[in-house]
Structure 1
């Protein structure tokens, strides 16, 4: 059965956006485990994100459970930056603009009014995430720049790509809405 279309940026009965709660930790872990190439962290980390950073994280759910999440935080001493750690969207919810919708809704929250820069790291091979952040930069009418950050060798024996820094901004609060 086809899924109902969701208008990007609009609330719908099909998919609701909300801050995470600590009880969501195991479901967030399960979601990320279904979203390669994202690095899967421990359940404990997702519990901490939900408990300590609900203002800078968001999840999407439908009648069947959690279908998407963005984990993010404000680096200490940098209130004008939102660092996006992970964006995950379950396969059945892809192709609806949900990743961008979650990011824009997050940026529109009152506690994040001072944010003028969105930063993230995305490996060169993660084309879906690169497209997501390029679309966000376009939507916010802000430049996107890339610079080296974590070289592949820093990840040790793991076969992990480098993680360059993508930076969007400066952004205007009016562009978020």
Structure 2
């Protein structure tokens, strides 16, 4: 298990810098996701695409000794008011301090998301941590969260993966300045 070289977390401590990822982050993102079981692993190439093609709608959290968080997302081409969050990964050493929520709100505060009024993601029924995270994001955005089955275990996933439920958060007013304050 990694520990932060900046010391232990205390109330109000924030050793992380949240930014857009770049191509040089792809390998470290891949390692982070591999260490965040039970997240589905992608190829390094896929993570490189997330860090480049989708950089403006993804976020990376770094401390002085490496990558501790990553959120990948994209604006849905057929629905430019909708941001889909694909994957959220936070290193075990950085969990429980709101880092994932801060990264999501950081993405929403960017100019590329100025027209976004809905946030979508998929979550398995057993993933209570993600359910709590996205409920908290909905609260921060002062809106509701709804859930419905989107990919059935047997029908879509050949019985090899738990069913995925689409979480729809919104509508919300995307007020970038307020989101930046909430993310801080």
Fold similarity call, TM over 0.5: yes
Match of 1:88 in 2: 89
Match of 1:136 in 2: 137
Task: Give secondary structure in 2 for the equivalent of 1:60.
Answer: strand
Task: Give secondary structure in 2 for the equivalent of 1:166.
Answer: strand
Q: Would you say how many aligned residue pairs link Structure 1 and Structure 2? A: 172
Mind listing any 5+ residue stretches in structure 2 that lack a counterpart?
none
Q: Residues 85-126 of structure 1: CA distance to partner in whole angstroms, max 9, x if unpaired?
A: 001000000111101011111100011110000000000001
Supply the RMSD in Å over aligned alpha carbons.
1.6
What's the TM-score, normalizing by structure 1? 0.92
Match of 2:157 in 1: 155
Q: Do the aligned partners of 1:6 and 1:96 also contact (CA within 8 Å) in 2?
A: no
Q: Do structure 1's residue 176 and structure 2's residue 174 form an aligned pair?
A: no
C-alpha change, 1:6 and 1:51, in structure 2 (3 Å) is farther
Q: Do the aligned partners of 2:121 and 2:168 also contact (CA within 8 Å) in 1?
A: yes
After the TM superposition, which residues 4-83 of structure 1 pair with which residues of structure 2 at under 5 Å, given as runs? Answer: 4-5=9-10, 7=12, 12=14, 14-83=15-84
Match of 2:8 in 1: 3
Mind listing any 5+ residue stretches in structure 1 that lack a counterpart?
none
Task: Give secondary structure in 2 for the equivalent of 1:152.
Answer: coil
- Between the aligned partners of 2:173 and 2:55, the Cα distance in structure 1 is 23
- Between the aligned partners of 1:5 and 1:109, the Cα distance in structure 2 is 28
What's the TM-score, normalizing by structure 2? 0.88
Runs of 4+, deviation exceeding 4 Å: none
